[in-house]
């Protein structure tokens, strides 16, 4: 009698097989994701774990095992982010700083550095773009991704891409993320909160009503403190309580929001992910562990970026008419240089040669902490790389 094995993905080595084993046969990892619907779900929510605090701990290893609060100290200051160690004592985002320090008097307080966090956020979004052009940032530290086949065209599963994203962010950026995978935005967001930090959670179609029933109504998008109090007064505490009520009753009591409550209680919701940057430019960038003034190191860094940008253009059926180079000095001064191409291109080698020439003019002894390459003046791929007179590519 044959046994049906479960689709399984190893989060560490990215091996994708059907198995019920609890240890990866390839690398020995126990970080396996098993689920019958693993290969069918394609809407994701990716959320950085204690983002600001994680960046500060990355940059100052002496803080790694200490309770850390990012925020402005003083009587009127508030907590921006608390690391997971500090959260065990009670501090939370938006809490008055004096109250947080009463709860966790040993906490180290660091003022937020928004320029640094924005830079890290851009690095993370560049990694997202390697998987799909359809990304909707919600804030600096979270985004929705549409990984359906028509946005990728590479034959790899959404689950595989998400595991790779998580691994790339940990190795290249130095912080961790939690991933939620489902079939709509509401459930993907719910899933990403289930297993923090370094989580990878799935909410499937099968059994979704039963899964949602015991959860508090505060888990629903749009149910804030005031609405939750109103619902509590009406005897609605869990999503299961919503499931038991007629739609007409909820609409009468909560207006148009009542219709949304009914949808959410059934596990229904929008799949639409709106990308704000699809038609403007395509780019990739990298922050060096140490500032560098070496022309060779700078050129070596842009080679894989040019491949990445070229691949994104091919997937998006676009071509770039202008090559853009971004350099950031050690004191955070940003230099942007661009060069118009004779013809729009999708070719990595053309991007590289153009970028290399621009970098050569700037590599005059200054040390740089970041380099990026991109394309602007996007157009249809049909206009890219016309053949030359000898039948080759121009």
Q: For residue 326, give the H/E element and its range.
A: strand 318-329
Sign of CA dihedral 312, 313, 316, 321: positive
Q: Which of 208, 242, 205 is nearest to 223 (CA)?
A: 242
3-class secondary structure, 58: helix
The answer to whether residue 142 is catalytic is yes
Q: Give CA–CA dist 126/283, Å, rounded.
A: 7
Decide the pairing of beta strands 16-18 and 7-10.
Answer: antiparallel
The number of helix segments (H) and strand segments (E) in the chain equals 14, 15
Return all residues near 176 (Cβ < 8 A) that are at least 6 apart: 48, 49, 54, 166, 169, 170, 197, 198
Dist CA 238 CA 31 (whole Å): 31
Q: Residue 100, SS3? A: helix
Helix, strand, or coil (residue 90): coil
For 88, residues 6+ apart whose C-beta sits below 8 A from its C-beta are 67
Burial 105-136 (b: 16+ CB within 10 A, else e): eebbbbebeeeebebbbbbbbbbbbbbbbbbb
Distances (CA, A) of 251 to 212, 232, 235, 246: 20, 16, 16, 9
**Could you count the other beta carbons within 10 Å of the beta carbon of residue 300?**
11
Spot the catalytic one: 56, 119, 142, 285: 142
Q: What whole-number distance in Å separates Cα of residue 182 and Cα of residue 201?
A: 9
Q: Catalytic positions, please? A: 142
């Amino acid at each position: 009698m044959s046994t049906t094995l479960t689709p399984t993905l190893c989060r560490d080595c990215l091996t994708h097989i059907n198995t019920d084993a609890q240890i990866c046969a390839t690398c020995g990892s126990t970080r396996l994701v098993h689920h019958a619907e693993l290969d069918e779900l394609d809407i994701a929510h990716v959320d950085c774990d204690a983002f600001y605090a994680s960046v500060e701990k990355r940059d100052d290893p002496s803080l790694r095992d200490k309770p850390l609060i990012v925020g402005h100290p003083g009587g009127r200051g508030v907590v921006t982010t608390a690391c997971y160690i500090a959260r065990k004592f009670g501090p939370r985002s938006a809490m008055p700083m004096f109250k947080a320090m009463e709860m966790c008097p040993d906490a180290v307080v660091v003022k937020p550095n928004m320029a640094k966090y924005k830079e890290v956020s851009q690095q993370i979004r560049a990694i997202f773009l390697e998987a799909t052009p359809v990304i909707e940032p919600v804030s600096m530290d979270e985004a929705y991704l549409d990984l359906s086949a028509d946005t990728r065209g590479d034959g790899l599963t959404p689950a595989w891409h998400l595991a790779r994203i998580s691994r790339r962010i940990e190795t290249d950026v130095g912080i961790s993320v939690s991933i939620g995978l489902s079939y709509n935005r509401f459930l993907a967001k719910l899933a990403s909160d289930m297993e923090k930090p370094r989580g990878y959670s799935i909410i499937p179609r099968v059994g979704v009503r039963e899964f949602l029933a015991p959860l508090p109504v505060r888990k629903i998008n749009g149910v804030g403190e005031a609405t939750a109090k109103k619902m509590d007064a009406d005897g609605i505490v869990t999503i299961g309580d919503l499931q038991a009520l007629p739609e007409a009753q909820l609409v009468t009591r909560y207006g148009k929001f009542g219709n949304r409550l009914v949808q959410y209680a059934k596990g229904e919701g929008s799949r639409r992910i709106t990308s704000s940057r699809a038609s403007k430019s395509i780019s990739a960038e990298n922050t060096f562990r140490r500032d560098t003034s070496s022309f060779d190191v700078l050129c070596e860094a842009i080679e894989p970026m040019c491949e990445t940008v070229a691949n994104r253009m091919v997937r998006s059926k676009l071509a770039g008419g202008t090559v853009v180079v971004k350099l950031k000095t050690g004191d955070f001064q940003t230099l942007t240089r661009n060069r118009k191409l004779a013809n729009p291109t999708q070719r990595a080698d053309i991007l590289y040669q153009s970028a290399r020439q621009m970098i050569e003019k700037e590599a005059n002894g200054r040390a740089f902490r970041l380099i990026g390459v991109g394309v602007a003046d996007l157009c249809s791929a049909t206009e890219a790389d016309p053949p030359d007179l000898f039948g080759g590519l121009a």
